[in-house]
Every structure is written in structure tokens, then in C-alpha cells.
Chains A and B, each alone.
Chain A
């Protein structure tokens, strides 16, 4: 968080003086009656842009935003620009960052408001031209201060991401080297097991234990593969894959808690697809596991898994009737180490995203009709040649 010194520094740099504060306070009563119209115009402009609109979750949130914007405009002309003001402004800035509003929309929005305030002041304030011009300058200065605070919160956010990426890079290198070091002993165990199987002519129990060791070695191998894959260590090794079968087996192997029921809707006769079967299996496991985790939270739940082939690509849809995705977290769901769960370290969906990117596909988090979350995985059939 910025210190009060930052505010003083910003005010000084912009040349905002006590006289400007006084001017704004005097303008306030004249422009205040225009606020309602100004806010309506502002949201009409936003509604024309679907990408700016996308961060708002329906009419309730817009109504709430309108109230917030009114309070913001009110305090803009109060004439008091102290530490508490800075803290409130930063909180508003961080709210914009949190809902994922792109910086350019924030800039565009600030510009719209600035223009409207100038217009309102020009039309409503009954001052002599020179005095009025001073008022326009004061409006520009306070809008510049607001913009500087907003940009500061965006910068804090980008610094946070940078730090996290550095941490991830270290984690990636560590995973890759641990994976490498563990594969050698695993190779020894596996070859020794192979020899043992030939040397030992034991009974059923002995064979069961040998099989168990083999399975666990294979499990260790696949855990290492996941980690190394996330460390971007391994490119997909594509082979012709029966995707329906892959989904069926991946779901069958999941450990699903009692109150959750998985409903599969898998079509017959889908042509094989060229993918890395191991990586895509992990994607299916992670997305379904994520849905099961959401569905189990409040009592009995259902997870629906369906697959469609539209010719050019396969679309896997996984839905649950859990609590759904919180608006503020949607754009962060696929970030590594981001998690809303008590269990799990936030690698599952991040791994999905990186695997799909390597396959030129995509994964999206949406809302399910009737509540809960909906994840769509799209996998193109042909690899772009570029």
C-alpha cells in the first residue's frame, strides 16, 4: 500500500494546491445535480463494449457500481484530499484490478468522466470566464491524481504477478531437477523388479506384491511426469488416441467421495485424435476432480461429463452443481498456485491450461445454467502448421 508521502508527492508533482481544493469544493454544488445523468451516460458507453461489460456480473452488480460511482463523484468535490482519501481511492483501484478490468477500459472510463465533469462545470457553474478556467484546471488536476492512484494499484498487481512468476520459475527448475534425480532410482527399481519377476517363482501372494510394487513405481513415474510437464519440460508426444475411451478410463480411475455422482454422456464412434494421451488424461482427471471437489462441498452433488465432436475439434464439458465460481476469482483460476480450496496447491487447472496451450486448444471457466460451474475444454483435431 502506498504511504501518505506518496499522496503528497503526487499532489505536488501535479501542482495541486489548497486553492484547487477550494475551487472543487465551490464547484460541487453546481455540478452535483448532473451526477445522475453523468452516471447513466457512463454506463450506456460501457454497455456498448462487450469486453468491458464482461467483467460485470449482471444488473445487481451494475446497480451497486452506480452507487459506488456516485459516492466517488461526491467525494471528488468535497475538497478534502488526505490520507483517508488516498486509502479509499486505492481500495476502489484494487477492486477494479480484482474483477479483472483491463487497464485500457479503466483509462477510457476515467477519460469519459473527466469529459463529462468539464461539460457539467462549463454548463452549470455561473462564474466569470477566468474563474471558470481555473475550475477546469482544478478538475483536470484532481482527475490526474485519481488516475495516478489507479495506475499505482495496477502496478502493484503487476509487481505481485512478477514475483509469483519468479517463484514459479524456481519451482519449475526444482521440479525438473528432482524429477530427473528420481527417475534414475526408479529405473533401477523397475529393472530390478523385472528381473525379480523372472527369478521368483512364488505363489499368488508374491505375485500380488510384485504387481503392487510395479504399480506404485508407475504411479511415482506419472507424478514426476506431471511435475516436469508443468515445469514445461516435456513437449506433447502425439499419437492416435481414442478420446472417448481416454475419458471413460480417466473418470473410472478417480476416487469419488460417496455423496457425489458422476453422469457420463459420451458419444459412440468418435474418430481418434492426435494428442499426447498421458497429458490429456491428466487434463480430464484434473478438471473432473476439480468439479467433484466443488460438488462435494454442500452435501450430495452431481458432476456431468459430456463430449462432443464438431468435426474440427472435440469439446469436453464438465459441469457441477456446487457453489459456482466467485466473480473475482474467475480470471485467476488457471494461474499456478492459485487455489480456493483447503486441499491442493493450485497446480491442477494450471497444468490443464499449459497442456491445452501445447495442443493449440483452450480451457474456459463458465457458469452452469441453474448454478454451479462449467468448464469447457476445446481440442482442435489438426495441429496448425505455422
Chain B
């Protein structure tokens, strides 16, 4: 079974590349370049996985993750950041957003994580 994945990054090229890579892996992926676009998509689709850049203009990835979780507690969110010592990372953990991927994104780790979500422990 494939996951419905939402990728949100204000760096359009990176968002598209990640989407294409995940599509190659057989997933259905939608892309947004800011929180507003992401929330619009979340109004129309259910996502099992969301990949969110932390630093974005407007609402950041941490606030967006919290909002997505509030709307659908089954969505699994991972934050992406070029700045792993960012104070927002610690705040995100407090909000239950514990999965943080550094940039450049370690693809093997990403694939393993997504695969894990698809086949939850029995």
C-alpha cells in the first residue's frame, strides 16, 4: 500500500525533487510551498505523512505540523531543517513533533521511516 504524502517547502525545487523521489518509490505525493497552500490541500485530502520545512515565510513548519496534527491525529509529520540546533526544534518536540530530518535530507532514513508508517507494528 502506498502512502499519501504531503511535502511542504518554500524551496520549490527541493519540494518537487522530494516529491519526484517519493513518487518513484510508488507513493502519491502532493506539494505546497507554504503553510496556507498546505492547509488548503489538507482540507481536500487525507495525508498519512507530511514532510515540513521548518523555516518558511508566514506560518512555519512547526506551527503547521501542530495544526495538521490537530486536524488529523493520524498524520505522521517529519520536520526538515538545515539548522538542527534551531530553538524551534526543541519547541517542536514539546508539541509531539519528534521526527526531525536534517538537510540535505538523508534519503535512506526517509524511505525507512515512510516504509515503517505503511506497515505499522502488528
Which A residues fall within an 8 A CB radius of B?
Answer: 176, 179-181, 183-184, 186-188, 190-192, 194-195, 198, 217, 221, 233-235
Quote the shortest CB–CB distance from A319 to chain B (angstroms): 35
Quote the shortest CB–CB distance from A37 to chain B (angstroms): 60
Residues from chain A with a CB closer than 8 A to the CB of B85 are 233-235
Question: A218–B57 Cα gap in the complex (Å)?
Answer: 28
Quote the shortest CB–CB distance from A188 to chain B (angstroms): 5
Question: A184–B15 Cα gap in the complex (Å)?
Answer: 11
B104 and A195 contacting across the interface, CB-CB below 8 Å: no
A188 and B82 contacting across the interface, CB-CB below 8 Å: no
Residues from chain A with a CB closer than 8 A to the CB of B107 are 191, 194
Question: A198–B107 Cα gap in the complex (Å)?
Answer: 14
A187 and B24 contacting across the interface, CB-CB below 8 Å: no
Closest to A218 in B: B104
Interface size class of B (residues with CB under 8 A): 10 to 19
Question: A221–B105 Cα gap in the complex (Å)?
Answer: 11
B105 and A188 contacting across the interface, CB-CB below 8 Å: no
B84 and A187 contacting across the interface, CB-CB below 8 Å: no
Q: B83 at the A/B interface (Cβ < 8 Å)?
A: yes
Residues from chain A with a CB closer than 8 A to the CB of B105 are 187, 190-191
Question: A191–B18 Cα gap in the complex (Å)?
Answer: 7
A221 and B104 contacting across the interface, CB-CB below 8 Å: yes
Known: A186-B103, A187-B103, A191-B105. 15 other contacts (CB 8 A): A184-B14, A184-B82, A184-B103, A187-B104, A187-B105, A188-B13, A188-B14, A188-B17, A192-B13, A194-B107, A195-B20, A198-B24, A217-B104, A234-B84, A234-B85
* Contact for B104 among A181, A190, A233, A235, CB less than 8 A: A190
B17 and A195 contacting across the interface, CB-CB below 8 Å: yes
Residues from chain B with a CB closer than 8 A to the CB of A186 are 103-104
Quote the shortest CB–CB distance from A292 to chain B (angstroms): 31
B83 and A195 contacting across the interface, CB-CB below 8 Å: no
Q: B11 at the A/B interface (Cβ < 8 Å)?
A: yes
A233 and B83 contacting across the interface, CB-CB below 8 Å: yes
Residues from chain A with a CB closer than 8 A to the CB of B20 are 195
Residues from chain B with a CB closer than 8 A to the CB of A181 are 82
A191 and B83 contacting across the interface, CB-CB below 8 Å: no
